Structure 1
Amino acid sequence: MSGHHDVHSGVHSEHGASAGEHSGRARNPVVKVLDLAWLEFEKPDLDRAEAFAHAFGFATALRTADGLQLRGTDPGSPCVLIRRAARSRFVGPAFRAADAADLRRLAEATGARPVPLPEALGGLTVDLADPSRLRVRVVAGTHELASLPAQQPHLFNFGHDLVRANATQRPPRAPARVQRLGHVVFQTTRYRETLDWYLRNLGLIVSDFLYYPGQRERGPVMSFIRCDRGAVPADHHTLALTLGPSNRYVHSAYQVADLDALAAGGEYLREQGYRRSWGIGRHIQGSQIFDYWRDPDGFMVEHFSDGDMFDCTLEPGWAPMSASGLAQWGPPATKDFLGLEPGVESLRELRAIVGALRRDNEFDLRRLRGLLKVANS
């Protein structure tokens, strides 16, 4: 078909931005964080939250009357902290600084001050607010949890390369054991301002930009952002930001051993009565094999495996955004994943669109047209 753009090719450019476009990194960031440490939520029913967490593949690191800490099998911090509250709410992320000196440098640059974290976590935090008014913690010196027994990946016979003989493959239909927290995705009405805030203050760098078809000259509307560890490869994205009519959590992602763990774990979740949002498939940006679920409080969470790892030398890729461009293979993106499923969430987003168009922010009428075009692509 003449003029058709193949969303499955040419999506990462080694040449980076064109003249005048965003470079995808700050020249002199205040600090360079190493990774996500954890995510914090509030939920009214900790028993219900813990039951889903165990079915999803977390282990409980700590349970009190008013709090829950969930962890993966990797050593380090808990992945998720949940505090009992009257309503469900995403509180914010915590990023790990290299050391206390970086924490002090960040505090001096922002006018914040390091304060002690609860004894169960240890260490210090500098609490900031990004331009979307999301609380962002940067932590150092926290307690390190020892590793737990990990789910072992399977041996595969690839083509004629025989590594398994006289043995069957029988992945158990059991929870996929979460290894670690991989990334979190936010939507913001002030995308460019928020993006620059993370690059400037936390030293993150962009792996891929997406723009609305026909609107590249207006700049990107989504970015997949990784930690800058120099020559040490980091996850393709630790944070992803997307422009939209409201400031909100979109989803978070947790690594598991392999496709069998992800698929068999998904069958276990389905049998327990939990709701898949979208999957199983393989993404384009990041290349992860993915499977998305909704927890009982409506938060979207992802199992992933086999994601891209980039060092600091790769420049950002640029690609048009489309629903069909979200995956290389797998079922079409669902209405639930795209936020189009009729219900409370889609009604809330519709109201947010009306409000956003009345306010001074980056989500204007032309951006709305671009978003609707993406949703129907």
Structure 2
Amino acid sequence: MSTHHTHNGLHSEQGALTGEHPGRSTNPVIKVRDLAWLEFEKPELEGAEAFAHAFGFATSYKDVDELHLRGTRAGSPAVIIRKGARSRFTGPAFLAADDRDLPRLADHLGATVSALPENLGGLTVDTREPSGARVRVVSGCRQLTALPGQAPLIHNFGSNIVRKNRTQRPPREPAKVERLGHVVLQTTRYRETLDWYLENLGLIVSDFLYYDGQRAKGPTMSFIRCDRGSELTDHHTLAVTLGPRNRYVHSAYQVADLDSLATGGEFLKEAGYQRSWGIGRHIQGSQIFDYWRDDNGFLVEHFTDGDMFDNSLEPGWAPMTASGLAQWGPPASADFLGIRPGRESLAELRSMFSALRKSDNEFDMARLRGLLKVANS
């Protein structure tokens, strides 16, 4: 395998220094192909479904205890919500590249291959990564057929006129979700969790971020993609970041284009939902983004026009700053950064003191100073 060793003109201005994390395992147990779905629990499914439809999902299955939400592309559902006593993220499911990967992974982890419920079909290996999140690797699941999608608008660019004698009037309606793109997780054991995903699931790092002035201590966030060889895949399917507690940060769902993202946002705003941050364009991954809070306060993202990489690019390295989260758009909001006064920011503050008192995590005083510097950047 050949890799690009220069980052000028690629996705990052900097590559790794000698001795830094290579961003991939030399001999992973398996290589997953994609995220299959995300699983949540919520006390009430009606409100969850109402937000989901406003956000652009379709319902593929529903009973009194369970709700499956899908995008327009063929495949598995994107989100599964089960009725529970409280709202919580219960974990991601990854799609195995080959049915034979499940027994190989199960044998390596000391786990078992078991059947998924009838409404999903197929098999799963259920395990836990170092920060405690349940991870499923699945195969052979029932495939949903494609639904009608939202066609991207035809644009005139400069002197290249392709839309003649026609106006642009995109309807103000939910932006149809096409597919699940990625999930971001925070962990107190960042390096151990990162290596677990690389070594067991064969994921590879696209970009590392480090706290300004602390590069020698190692990265504190990684944007991680699937290794499909020469086949292009999303810049990141998973992102892992160091923090004072283990938690879900956000998940992202692809829509057709900027207009569907923007008009979908107007629809959500008129329906009374809260925009967290947007519209803008990220640096790592390059996606045009728009972040929203769902009916239970979970952060979810519409995105379009993201970077697609094969396995030849090595990781980029950059300092983590709030201003470095976007190329253009409004400044990152206090809500998005988790510093808006409220229940979540109080929980994060309490967890900082708790993490500093313990020795079984990577969140020490130096990391706290780095995190506070990010929030003020």
Fold agreement, TM-score > 0.5? yes
Instruction: Please list, as runs of the form range in 1=range in 2, the aligned pairs for 1:132-143 lying within 5 A after superposition.
Output: 132-143=131-142
SS at match of 1:313: coil
Instruction: Please list, as runs of the form range in 1=range in 2, the aligned pairs for 1:26-45 lying within 5 A after superposition.
Output: 26-45=25-44
Cα distance in 2 for partners of 1:134, 1:303 equals 24
CA contact (8 A) 1:14 1:314 kept: no
Instruction: Please list, as runs of the form range in 1=range in 2, the aligned pairs for 1:1-377 lying within 5 A after superposition.
Output: 12-13=11-12, 16-360=15-359, 361-377=361-377
With over 3 angstroms needed to count, the CA separation of the structure-2 counterparts of 1:353 and 1:10, relative to structure 1, is farther
Paired residues, what number? 369
Cα distance in 2 for partners of 1:243, 1:51 equals 33
SS at match of 1:70: strand
Q: Deviations over 1:102-136 (max 9, x none)?
A: 11110111110100000110000000100000000
Cα distance in 2 for partners of 1:328, 1:100 equals 41
Cα distance in 2 for partners of 1:208, 1:75 equals 29
Q: Deviations over 1:207-244 (max 9, x none)?
A: 00000000000000000000000000110000000000
SS at match of 1:107: helix
SS at match of 2:100: helix
**Paired-residue identity, %:** 72
CA contact (8 A) 1:99 1:141 kept: no
CA contact (8 A) 1:42 1:90 kept: yes
Q: Deviations over 1:229-284 (max 9, x none)?
A: 00001100000000000000000000000000000000000000000000000000
Moved more, 128-137 or 99-108: 99-108
**Structure 1 residue 12: deviation in Å?**
3.6
CA contact (8 A) 1:178 1:256 kept: yes
Q: Deviations over 1:62-110 (max 9, x none)?
A: 0101000000000000000000111101000000001220111101111
Cα distance in 1 for partners of 2:367, 2:141 equals 41
Cα distance in 1 for partners of 2:89, 2:223 equals 20
CA contact (8 A) 1:24 1:205 kept: yes
Cα distance in 1 for partners of 2:212, 2:225 equals 24
Cα distance in 2 for partners of 1:157, 1:114 equals 52
CA contact (8 A) 1:112 1:127 kept: yes
Cα distance in 2 for partners of 1:106, 1:280 equals 40
**Structure 1 residue 47: deviation in Å?**
0.3
CA contact (8 A) 1:12 1:319 kept: no
CA RMSD of aligned residues (A): 1.1
Cα distance in 2 for partners of 1:179, 1:12 equals 25
TM-score (norm 2): 0.97
Cα distance in 2 for partners of 1:59, 1:347 equals 34
Residue 3 of structure 1 corresponds to which residue in structure 2? Answer: none
Cα distance in 2 for partners of 1:128, 1:201 equals 11
CA contact (8 A) 1:251 1:301 kept: yes
**Structure 1 residue 14: deviation in Å?**
7.8
Moved over 4 A (4+): none
**Structure 1 residue 296: deviation in Å?**
1.1
Cα distance in 1 for partners of 2:199, 2:136 equals 15
Cα distance in 2 for partners of 1:19, 1:153 equals 44
Which structure 1 residue ranges, 5 or more long, are not aligned?
A: 1-8
TM-score (norm 1): 0.97
CA contact (8 A) 1:281 1:330 kept: yes
**Structure 1 residue 16: deviation in Å?**
3.3
Cα distance in 2 for partners of 1:358, 1:197 equals 25
With over 3 angstroms needed to count, the CA separation of the structure-2 counterparts of 1:165 and 1:10, relative to structure 1, is closer
SS at match of 1:34: strand
